[in-house]
Structure 1
């Protein structure tokens, strides 16, 4: 099997992990090696204490055009190539290789920003849905494309898409497989916003997030991810738990001191 380290590259600058799907000659299409590499990169970043934000993008002109054509050819014979991906055991809700390749980005404790240009189709779009924020090029092409291949989204998309765009729009996109531009994606909530240079914008946004207390940023992400997924009493209780842990902590004291002294803060990583 192809060395999965070649499929996804990870570099780090000032607490920002720059993660790139690295198969530009195939429009970053998903094969077993790509699935394995995405999961491995995400799992590695979960354990990196110096990571404060992540930017997820694709090398070349596309984010990810979806499944490799070989996967569709194999499906005609009832085979599922993604099952060949060699992955460690997982205790999380996502178990299938494709689900884990998308969901692992949701599981990171730090903010993840997807930078999307070119095609983000099918499985490629579902990987972008795993990010907290999506910055897309105005002329990017996004689609829940699976029905065009006689399939359904099976990489977490059916569960995450309605939360972003509403159940009715999610059904319209999924049942037609129509391609939307980056501009339309931003209008309907599929993308956070557009930018002519989404990678530069995503890196700048991630750097801005990385300037703040890593403990506060992680706590805020945890709380926001609870919204709508737990009852209000539990959510309010979690707010008090997090604020209680932050008040008076070294990084919180440093945030206050830096603002009063009009200087850049010097935070301690986890």
Structure 2
């Protein structure tokens, strides 16, 4: 079991990790402790035995309303808003703690589903960019809100957002800081789809994913993360390497046997 903190709670049931921002009285606003807690939770889940899927959400009516007001007060007063965090050394491209709070979910070997209701503004929206899938309520409020505070999205947003919505739409959202509904977010690719109860929908999807061969799901995530980021020859070669490792492996054989025998599969987790 992964330890929980006051800022981020983590529990694991039947292969599904339930990760929640836990400052509902502050609309799950981001402070230094929350950045560190998110990054640390993700790092620990990378090696947590038996985890097959992660559902990332916020406690209470909001996913995350963005940066805590104390940060803006510090900026107004000319004080730095930064502090060292006790995190393991980064082996990926993200180095800053706030960037790692987002990108760690991309680095997880298993799928991550973000369930968004209420506000996902500024840094809150950027956290969702680290997920593989985003399920949002139709009336959710999402915004690349940093320009309203005289800032830029610096939690991986400038690099990950264009992959989802295209460069021109990413610029429009960033330059204007306008708020979009969950319905519009789904139309423009900022969200995967809408659901009146995004958390329930996320857990239903997570259960479906957890019933598949975990080796195949991990391989699929690795390959899909390569798409568009490497040349086709390298991508096709990676496909062949992954499929060669899967065919005839114990979990793949179990998947086939379970289908023929019309029973739930009994996979062995990594």
Sort the TM-score into its range (normalised by shorter chain): over 0.9
TM-score, normalization by structure 1? 0.97
- The alignment status of 1:191 with 2:191, answered yes or no, reads yes
The answer to whether residue 24 in structure 2 is matched with residue 24 in structure 1 is yes
Provide runs of 4+ in structure 1 moved above 4 Å.
Answer: none
- SS of the equivalent of 2:83 reads helix
**2:6 equivalent to 1:9:** no
How big is the shift at 1:99?
0.3
Q: TM-score if structure 2 supplies the norm length?
A: 0.97
CA distance in 2, matches of 1:199, 1:51: 18
1:27–1:63: 8 Å Cα contact kept in structure 2?
A: yes
Offset at residue 92 of structure 1 (A):
1.5
Task: Rate the CA distance shift 1:30–1:139 in 2: closer, same or farther, 3 A.
Answer: same
Give unmatched runs, 5+ long, in structure 2. none
The Cα shift of 1:4 comes to: 7.6
Q: Distance in 2 between matches of 1:263 and 1:96?
A: 46
**Preserved contact between residue 135 and residue 193 of structure 2 (Cα < 8 Å):** yes
In structure 2, what is the Cα distance between the partners aligned to 1:52 and 1:140? 27
Structure 1 unaligned regions, length at least 5: none
SS at 1:142 equivalent: strand
Map Cα deviations across residues 191-247 of structure 1 (whole Å, 9 max, x no partner): 000000000000110110000010000000100110000000000000000000000
Closer/same/farther in 2, CA of residues 226 and 135 from structure 1, 3 Å limit: same
For residues 208 and 82 of structure 1, do their structure 2 counterparts lie closer, same or farther at Cα, with a shift above 3 Å needed? farther
In the alignment, does 2:145 pair up with 1:145?
yes
- Write out per-residue CA displacement over residues 162-207 of structure 1, whole angstroms, 9 at most, x where no aligned residue: 0000000000000000000000000000000000000000011011
Measured after TM superposition, the shift of residue 82 of structure 1 is: 3.7
Distance 1:74 1:33, change over 3 A: same
Q: Following TM superposition, by how much is the alpha carbon of 1:84 offset from its aligned partner in structure 2, in angstroms? A: 4.3
Does the CA-based 8 Å contact 1:82-1:98 persist in structure 2?
no
1:268 paired residue number = 268
CA RMSD of aligned residues (A): 1.2
Q: How far apart, CA to CA, are the structure 2 residues paired with 1:84 and 1:67?
A: 17
Aligned length: 268
1:104-119 → structure 2 map (5 Å cutoff) = 104-119=104-119
Deviations 1:59-88 (A, max 9, x none): 000000000000011112343324344433
Q: Cα 1:4–1:80, aligned 2, differ >3 Å: closer, same or farther?
A: farther
Compared CA separation, residues 266 and 221, structure 1 to 2 (3 A)? same
Asked if the contact 1:31–1:82 (Cα under 8 Å) also holds between the matched residues in 2, the reply is no
Work out whether residues 117 and 137 of structure 2, in 8 Å CA contact, stay in contact via their aligned partners in 1: yes
The secondary structure found in structure 1 opposite 2:90 is coil
